[in-house]
Structure 1
Amino acid sequence: MPNDDIDVIAPNLNRRLSGVTATVISLVPLQARKVGITATGVALPDGLPFTPLWKLPFLKRRLRVWHARRNNEMLLGILLRSLGLMRLKLVFTSSSPRKRGGLTNWMTSKMDAIVATTPVNATVMPGTPVLIPHGVNTEVFAPAPSDIFGTGDQKLIGCFGRVRHMKGAHHFVDAMCELLPDHPDYTAIIMGRITPDNAAYAEELKQRIATADLTDRILFKDELPLTEMPRAYNALSLYVAPSLLEGFGLTPLEALSCAVPVVATDVGAFRDFVSQDCGEIVPKDDGGALAASIRTMLARDLPAMGTAGRTRVQAEFGLEREADALVALYRHLLGQT
């Protein structure tokens, strides 16, 4: 993309795969059809419109939008503008349901626009945020045959994300230890990164599984690249999101887009898109309720529920909606509307 055509800069300043990184990678190609946008930073795939960080101050001087999604990205945008290195309108999107501390509030006060992704998120954001929910690319996350986990004829129940306490993996393991003996045709998949600080937690989970004599039916799998995630969801019959805390929470939405029904805790935006025709919502941090809900779901018509879930995602939560709303915000800030 010629430098003169860049209207919007989308930084990604975290090397770890996260929901924020996935959002940038998914949104930028769609937005590039409608506005001059470039990504910058680290851990971004080839093929994405991209400008190295070091080149940004040397772009032709004109007004641009800097869309931050993390504190360090806010700070860099503030510095670039305050030091006179770039003319910027600053945007910050956050999905966190928690109130922010002093430094974050100070940085947020310097933003020209604030975007919240859920009504709950909006109530803890300073100022007057614009509500723009996340979406999912329903063409990429679409039903297709998959045996990516190599489990043959076994039906799969999946739980994806970093293996740590706040993701509720212990409740998922306990539920599977209770339910799988009664459902010999099912295997459970726990897929996600185990960081060194969570190694003891993961080992405890594996010991629980071994005690239940289910090591061959509750399987730990390494984190997959983003490009392989649709295949991961499509291998499942049921997806479980047992989180104790989420900002928005994309994984249940991605599962539903692949026509996989969902059991999820009542956190983040899960309640907004998991309805009774495509899944169940249970109280957070309630292992008994989670196990009971999964048991109920296994007795229902899971393929029909998955179809209903995909229909809802296509109608209400397509990524195109999010992209269009953000592009409209960018154009407003740039005086193009």
Structure 2
Amino acid sequence: MDEVEVLAPNFKRRLSGVTSTIVQLAPLQRRIGVKIATLGPGLPEHLPHVSWRDLVKAWRPPPGKTARVWHARRNNEMIVGIVLRDILRMPLKLLFTSAAQRHHKPFTRWLIRRMDRVVATSERSGSFLQAPHTTILHGVDTDMFHPPQTAEDTIAASGLAGKYLIGCFGRIRHQKGTDLFVASMIDLLPRFPDWTAVISGRATAEHQAFADRLKDDVRSAGLQDRIVFLGEVPDIKVWHRRLTLYVAPSRNEGFGLTPFEAMASKTAVVTSDAGAYSEMAVPGISGNIVAAGDGPALTKAIEPYLADPAKAIDDAEKSLAHVRANFGLEREASALKAVYEEMLEGG
């Protein structure tokens, strides 16, 4: 704790997009000189980590500094930061990263006003903040997500039928537009026998009936061998590499990293304009973008790729170059490092 200058709390045990961001960023931040440590449950053991007991030492700032940065990404993490700073008088400066694509509730606005600095993960999320902020888009680890390299990265290794895979990954629920993807596949796949669709992700109890209806629709269409529900898979990275086309049909999204992960895996993408999708994908370069919730438009945007797989392969090459040039994880880590340094400037 003596040397830690940035604390990154994670107060959610289940894996989420926020947790994934911390897991990917923290080791890289350490490598580029950020003295950061994580705090909280549900994080891999290899991350730099401090315990709640270690916080006793946080009343003494690190050498040469007058405070530490508390980097919150959730409301409960902001609350704890405020308590530590304002009630327990711990020398902290509070930073909040917001990915929300909606107007904040009054209590959240109250919390945000008490932050020393605020970061938005996209221009759209920034537009909902009633506070000065810096925009830093998320990046993707291009070493972790990379183009196919071995036979394991092919459709043949999946054991599924067809020559090409089209995929939709993430939690199965209405918000994520899984039903829009399934409807498009039911419409298109009978006309394009070389393609098979895969859906990976978990349906929580409250969304299980939604997922069951989608599976019933697939069975009714007689396409259960060509629209395959994988459930949660141990390694989603290999499935990104097996795809020829990735679809992100969300109706609403905080940020949404999966199109980045697909592009870094050399896969073309079709996305809605939810979240930051419209800020990461470029029509004609990385794929097509449609209005969120517009099922017919989604089907229309997917069809040219199924009709001409060479187009998908060509756009995949462009996607890879685009994401490597503009959205590497190193860029996000470096931008956050600059914010931390500004907050800690002056000792």
TM-score range, shorter chain: over 0.9
**Which whole-Å CA distance do the structure 1 matches of 2:184 and 2:263 have between them?**
21
1:219-241 per-position Cα deviation (integer Å, ceiling 9, x unaligned): 1112235xx23212001111000
- Look up the SS of the partner of 1:5 in the other structure: coil
2:255 counterpart residue number: 248
Distance 2:290 2:264 in 1: 20
Cα distance in structure 2, aligned partners of 1:250 and 1:18: 11
Q: Which of 175, 191, 204 is equivalent to 1:195?
A: 204
Contact 2:59 2:91 in 1 (8 A): no
Q: Please name the residue that 1:294 is paired with.
A: 302
- Equivalence map 1:43-122=2 (5 Å): 43-59=42-58, 61-62=60-61, 63-84=67-88, 86-122=90-126
After superposition, the C-alpha distances for 1:248-276 in whole angstroms (9 at most, x for unaligned) are 21111110111100000111111122121
Q: 1:121: Cα distance to partner? A: 1.1
Q: Give the percent of matched residue pairs that are identical in Structure 1 and Structure 2.
A: 44
| Secondary structure in 2 matching 1:65 | strand
**Cα distance in 2 between the residues matched to 1:191 and 1:133:** 25
In the alignment of these two chains, the number of paired residues is 333
Pick one of 276, 287, 290 that aligns with 1:279. 287
Name the stretch that deviates more: 137-146 or 234-243.
137-146
Contact 2:248 2:259 in 1 (8 A): yes
Root-mean-square deviation over aligned CA pairs: 1.5
* Residues 137-192 of structure 1: CA deviation (Å, up to 9, x unaligned): 11111102415643265421110010000000011000000111111121111111
Q: 1:57–1:86: 8 Å Cα contact kept in structure 2? A: no
Tell me the amino acid that sits aligned with residue 185 of structure 1: D
Q: Is the partner of 1:86 in helix, strand or coil?
A: coil
Look up the match of 2:64. Answer: none
Aligned to 2:229, which of 220, 225, 234? Answer: 220
1:231 aligned residue (235, 238, 241): 238
Question: Conserved in 2, the CA contact under 8 Å of 1:279 and 1:297?
Answer: no
Instruction: Say if 2:36 is the partner of 1:37.
Output: yes
Change (3 A) 1:229 1:221: same
The farther-off stretch of 42-51 and 295-304 is: 295-304
The alignment partner of 1:51 has SS state of coil
Answer yes or no: is the 8 Å Cα contact 2:8–2:72 preserved in 1: yes
Q: Distance in 1 between matches of 2:12 and 2:327?
A: 26
TM-score where L is the length of structure 2: 0.92
- Residue 166 (structure 1) aligns with: 175
Unmatched runs of 5 consecutive residues or more in structure 1: none
CA contact (8 A) 2:2 2:57 kept: no
**Are the counterparts in 1 of residues 102 and 128 from structure 2 also a CA contact under 8 Å?**
yes
Partner of 1:135: 139
Please name the residue that 2:5 is paired with.
7
Residues 12 and 42, structure 1, Cα contact 8 Å, conserved in 2: yes
Q: Distance in 2 between matches of 1:57 and 1:332?
A: 25
Q: What amino acid is aligned across from residue 168 of structure 1 in structure 2?
A: G
- C-alpha distance in 2 between matches for 1:152 and 1:4: 56
Shift in Å at residue 69 of structure 1? Answer: 0.5
Q: What is the DSSP-based 3-state SS (H/G/I as helix, E as strand, rest coil) of the residue aligned with 1:4?
A: coil
Which of 259, 273, 279 matches 1:266?
273
**How far apart are the structure 2 equivalents of 1:233 and 1:41?**
30
* Contact 1:30/1:320 (<8 A) preserved: yes
**C-alpha separation between the residues in 2 aligned to 1:204 and 1:12?**
34
Amino acid at match of 1:57: V
- Return the alpha-carbon distance in structure 2 between the equivalents of residues 124 and 302 of structure 1: 35
CA contact (8 A) 2:162 2:196 kept: no
| Of 147-156 and 129-138, the range deviating more from structure 2 | 147-156
Alignment partner, residue 343 of structure 2: 333
Q: Deviations over 1:58-91 (max 9, x none)?
A: 3461111010011111111111112326211000
User: Which ranges of structure 2 fall in alignment gaps of 5 or more residues?
Assistant: 62-66
Q: What is the CA–CA distance in structure 2 between the aligned matches of 1:212 and 1:14, rounded to whole Å?
A: 39
- Judged with a 3 Å threshold, the aligned counterparts in structure 2 of structure 1 residues 12 and 150 are, in CA distance, closer, same or farther, namely farther
Instruction: Write the letter of the residue equivalent to 1:211.
Output: S
2:187 to 157, 178, 181: 178
Question: Hey, what's the Cα distance between the residues in 2 that align with 1:207 and 1:45?
Answer: 37
- For 2:14, the equivalent position in structure 1 comes to 16
